[in-house]
Amino acid sequence: MNRALGRFLPPARTRPATIHQAMRYSLFAGGKRIRPILTLAAAEACGGTTAGAMPLACVVECIHTYSLIHDDLPAMDNDDFRRGRATSHKVYSEGIAVLAGDALLTQAFEIVAQAKGWPRYPHTALIREITETAGSLKLIAGQVADLEGEGENLSIAQLRYIHERKTSALLACSVRLGGMSANCTVRQLKALTDFGYNVGLAFQVIDDILDVTQTTEELGKTAGKDQAAAKATYPAIVGLEKSGKIAKKLTDKAFAALKPFAGKATALEAMAEYLLKRSN
């Protein structure tokens, strides 16, 4: 994964070196690579190959890293610590951090252009999938609702709206792109969508639990931020125990979605289990 990402990005010394170093600084900071692994696992479930899925796996990691860099900016979540190191704007400057995020998002589309394209999923379908996910109806919609929800008493339905967009959309897109790289059938794509949707929701519930129960060192990002920012979360609304049960129920739904793969989605199953039990 790291080798592939390294090959797609301009070398660190390419002029202007600051921006290429900043892109690499955040991309190779030690993220868990959950989304690209989901892409590779989904490709495997649909009979595809790692080599075929790798460009699209790199695409989702570039988009994810861009969103983290921008989310950490003072104008957004204002965080100094991410992936176990100082955030991009702390090391480089706010201007360079904005540009590093922009450059990673743009890089994602260059990588799509280098991907093969498949009979059922030509480049137009891939680009549409990615723009719908990263655009103002999903990822950005989630971030807007998250910002506007700070300090508000949100209902569970409003919280679900945020989680579906800011978190679940990119996880669903990650598995869908994996399926597309294997030229998957409509039925397989539907199963992957259901899996990604539920595993994505579970992921955010667990993330909110970990924000309360883990330390900054364990997380590699600042712990206790949700309470400090008066953010609505499942633990804040229904408590830690019930939040754990909700995450388990969503994971069960994700497992159920894999039925059509008849035992061929073992890597996706392993990921769903890991995401439920993770500690960072």
Please report, as ranges, the residues that interact with ligand GRG according to CB under 6 A: 31-32, 34, 64, 67-68, 70-71, 76, 83, 139-140, 142-143, 166-167, 207
How far apart are CB 190 and ligand GRG at their closest, in Å? 24
**In angstroms, what is the minimal distance from the CB of 280 to ligand GRG?**
8
Residue appearing with tokens 């799509």:
112
Instruction: Compute the least distance from the CB of residue 273 to ligand GRG, in Å.
Output: 16
Q: How far is the CB of 35 from ligand GRG (least distance, A)?
A: 7
Q: How far is the CB of 240 from ligand GRG (least distance, A)?
A: 17
C-alpha distance from residue 31 to each of 116, 157, 185 (Å):
26, 30, 31
Closest by CA to 5, choosing from 45, 46, 77, 60, is 60
Cβ nearer to ligand GRG, comparing 40 with 68: 68
Report the alpha-carbon distance of residue 56 to residue 167 in Å, rounded: 18
Residue pair 162/233 in contact (Cβ under 8 Å)? The answer is no
Decide whether 176 or 188 has the Cβ nearer to ligand GRG.
176
For residues 8-43, one letter each, b for 16 or more C-beta atoms within 10 angstroms of the residue's C-beta and e for the rest, the string is bbeebeeeeeebbbbbbbbbebebebbbbbbbbbbb
* Residue 30 or 47 having the CB closest to ligand GRG: 30
Spatial separation of the C-alpha atoms in residues 191 and 86, rounded to whole Å: 38
Q: Residue 32 and residue 29: Cα distance in Å, rounded?
A: 10
Least distance in Å: CB of 237 to ligand GRG?
17
The CB-of-274 to ligand GRG minimum distance in angstroms stands at: 12
Contact 207, 214 (CB under 8 A): no
The Cα 192–Cα 195 span in angstroms is 5
Angle, helix 186-213 to helix 266-277, in steps of 10 degrees: 20
> With respect to ligand GRG, which residue has the nearer C-beta, 68 or 192?
68
Residue of minimal Cβ distance to ligand GRG: 31
In this complex, which beta carbon is closest to ligand GRG, that of residue 142 or of residue 196?
A: 142
Q: Judged by CB, which is closer to ligand GRG: 184, or 272? A: 272
d(CA 177, CA 68): 21
User: Based on CB atoms, which residue is closest to ligand GRG, 121 or 234?
Assistant: 234
